[in-house]
Structure 1
Amino acid sequence: MSGWPPEVLEVLEASGWTAGRRVDTADWRSMFEAVGLAMHDAADTFLQEFGGLTVSISGPGISVAREPFELDPGLAWGEDDRFSEWSDSIGRRLFPLGELDHGRFFLGIDENNEIYLVASWVASFGPMPQALENLILGVKPRRIDDERRPSDQAQ
């Protein structure tokens, strides 16, 4: 992707991203498909470019603190039920991307390239590429309606 704001580009490059980067996603695909969570094209495309990156950021952001995140779907292993239930609840197919804030939250992407914070609640960082900018710059995600919460995830 081109046209990143300078601060976002600097953070991405410091994390190991380069233009044209390509990562093999086959292991992540087979890992999650084995438990019934299919990798859609948007997840595959995103992970080919950004999979495996660890973004070490902190400090004040635009509307929330900037938190580190790691783009490794394997970090959400064992949480397939959470992703499946939220997918059913919001009517979008969520696929794991990794974790935010050292495992405090998970990250997922839907088939329309929208990135989500996934916990016992769900919030949207928006569609790509703005979603990645929002994560890096510390823009608070938009919380999805609590009435859509899966009953066994309610707190």
Structure 2
Amino acid sequence: MAVFSAETRALLKQSGWSEDRCVDTSEYEKSLQSEGYSLYEVVLDFLKRFGGLLVVYPHHRVKDEKDQFYINPTVAVVDIDSGWVEKYSERIGVPLCLIGQAFSYHMTLMMDSNGGVYAGYDDTLIRIGNSGSDAIEALCSGRDMPEVP
């Protein structure tokens, strides 16, 4: 069971999420495999619980503005150059799997085989969280996220 703050839980519920949510991941799997991404059990488990969610949350830097993330690798593979994901994987030393987009579609969301979540845009790569749930909490709460050197 994921531990979310009350604020994050409310934002997730507004997006259609529930504790017992379980979606079919076959389309996500097909899209990712067609692009050559490694599929990990932790990624599939995350997509079962959060796949397809478009979550709108308060922008952490601009008061009265909103930001969003979308957990949908099928959409993301169309928008993302897989070469960047390869570069990010080399940078952290482990293969990454595409899981969606964040910061109003400006950054690519990726997960490693241990569940760590990263976001990248061009040469910028940040570690969002240690797990999918931790990353969701970080995004929704505006927690500082370290840049990967």
Shorter-normalised TM-score: what interval?
0.7 to 0.9
In structure 1, what residue type is equivalent to 2:102?
A: L
CA distance in 2, matches of 1:59, 1:36: 33
Deviation at 1:66, TM superposition (A): 6.3
Which 4+ residue blocks in structure 1 deviate beyond 6 angstroms?
none
Name the TM-score, length of structure 1 as normaliser: 0.83
Q: Deviations over 1:72-130 (max 9, x none)?
A: 11232142221122112211221111111222111111111111111112100121232
Name the TM-score, length of structure 2 as normaliser: 0.86
Which residue is 1:143 aligned to?
Answer: 147
Instruction: Provide the aligned length of Structure 1 versus Structure 2.
Output: 142
- Choose which of 99, 102, 107 in structure 2 pairs with 1:100: 102
What does 1:38-117 correspond to in 2, within 5 Å? 38-60=38-60, 67-78=67-78, 79-117=81-119
Whether 2:134 is the aligned partner of 1:130: answer yes
Which residue is 2:17 aligned to?
Answer: 17
In structure 2, what residue type is equivalent to 1:122?
A: L
Compute the RMSD of aligned alpha carbons: 1.8
In structure 2, what residue type is equivalent to 1:126?
A: G
The percentage of aligned residue pairs carrying the same residue is 25
Structure 1 gap segments, 5+ residues each: 146-155
Q: Deviations over 1:6-35 (max 9, x none)?
A: 111111111111011111111111212122
